[in-house]
Each structure stands twice: as structure tokens, then as C-alpha cells.
Amino acid sequence: MNQAALITGASRGIGRGIALELAKLGCDLVVNYASNVQAAQQTAADCIALAQTCRKKIRAEIFQADISKSSDREKLIEFTKAEFGRLDLLVNNAGVAPEVRADILEAGEESFDRLIAINVKGPYFLTQLAAKWMIEQCAHAQASATEYRPKIVTISSVSAYAASTNRGDYCVAKAALSMLTPLYAARLAEHGINVYEIRPGIIATDMTGPVKEKYDKLIGEGLTPIKRWGTPEDVGKAVAAIAEDLLPFSTGEVINVDGGFHLRRL
């Protein structure tokens, strides 16, 4: 039986890149999206086709759910239960940037509330639901002496520690999100569930499209030791390493996928 992975915000960008890498490994997938059904269908079809080229047969099912909404989170987990009956990997990837980049002296509460709801509350409580189900599955696996090594991965950002004064709401949300991993790692270790944070740097997606020229220039000037944009595939490969259980004695870890952005240099 294939392992099953649920990836939030997998219709586009980094989530799509993660889905494609997991498809190569032969994971069944739930491709969650907010509104872009066509992109989600495309991702699912591309995952199935890519898996076939790797001689794997997978299923990839799309499901619309706004992760900031409690009822949608419940439906997303129920859908995964109904379709696959198991969950081996939750990837908390869905997230949004502020609609307008505004100076912290001017930015309003509406954008702040939106970012906290989608980027923090959504993954925090989706993880709670997934973790409870994983614990049940762990107990069943133990009773039947079958192998089951579930994992949880959260996609945060270098904005968890790098101050951008024109999108403080995003930075505050990502800093808060970074606490999710140590909390759940500490709580779930006794059940054999490892929890990781992946902290991407500047990745080429729709989210960074509007600031492409700015980042082209900064990267060209040496902002990152590895002098290129990151890709969704770069992040996907890090998630794939976790899915393959290549870090079995590590939990609560932050994995930087940022071309070395986090290094202090003199």
C-alpha cells in the first residue's frame, strides 16, 4: 500500500513542487487548494504522469479547503480518511503574503488578521487534527506489528527571523508559525511522529512574481551565497528526504532551503 501525503496549497508554487517530488517516491496525494481548481487538477495530473515515469502507480486527489476555516480543515481530514484511509505525511505549506506591502507604521489590522488566520491558525489546528489521527494509526500499527512512521512538515520562511518593515504582518505570522514545530515535535515524539520545519528563502513562484526585479538585483549583488533563485523543486527535495525517513533521529529541526541566506558573513 502506498504512503499517503496531504499537502496544503499544492495547486501552485512550492506546494506543487513538493507534490511532484512526493509523486516520484510513489506517495498517494491529497492536493489541497483554496480556489484555483484548474491548477489543482493540473498538479494532480502531472503528479500521476510523473510517478508513472518512475514506474510508480499513485493516486492524486484534489480537495478545496480554506485552511483558515475550522469546518474546511475537518472536511480536508475527513476527505483524506475516506480516500486513502491513512496519513503518513502532513505538509503545512499553504500560506499567503499581504495583498499590499505597507510600512509597519501604516499597515492595518485586516491584513494582519488574514495572515494570522491563514498562515498560523490554519496549520496549527490542522496539525492538531492530523496528529490525533496519526496517534490512532500509530496504535493500530503497533497492535498489528506493521511499519508506520508518520511525519509533519511545516513550510515557514526566512521571514520568521528576517525583518521586512514593509510586510510586518507576514514576518510576525511566520515567526509565530515557527513555534509550531518545537511544540508538536515535543508532544508527538513519544508516538514516533517526527516534526520538521522547512524554512525557504527566495523561491520563484507567483508569490514572489511582483518583486522579481528587486530580488533579481539583490541576488545578483550577493544576497545569498548560492547566487540563484530557489525553486519549488528545491523545497520538494527537502520534503522528499523527510518522507523517505532519512532523518529518523531528528525532530523539531529547522531545515534551511535558502541558498545560505541565513549565514552571517564578515
Q: Which residues bind ligand NAP (CB under 6 A)?
A: 8-15, 32-36, 39, 66-68, 93-96, 118, 155, 157, 200, 202-203, 205-208
Query: Among residues 150 and 230, whose Cβ is nearest to ligand NAP?
Result: 230
- Smallest distance, ligand NAP to C-beta of residue 150, A: 21
Count CB-CB contacts under 10 A for residue 6. Answer: 26
Query: Among residues 122 and 150, whose Cβ is nearest to ligand NAP?
Result: 122
Query: Among residues 138 and 172, whose Cβ is nearest to ligand NAP?
Result: 172
Sheet-wide strand order for 28-33: 60-64, 28-33, 4-7, 89-92, 151-155, 194-200, 253-257
Query: Among residues 101 and 149, whose Cβ is nearest to ligand NAP?
Result: 101
- Residue 35 C-alpha cell reads as 480556489
- Smallest distance, ligand NAP to C-beta of residue 19, A: 10
DSSP 159-197: GGTS--TT-HHHHHHHHHHTTHHHHHHHHHGGGT-EEEE
d(CA 53, CA 38): 23
d(CA 118, CA 254): 21
The set of catalytic residues is 170
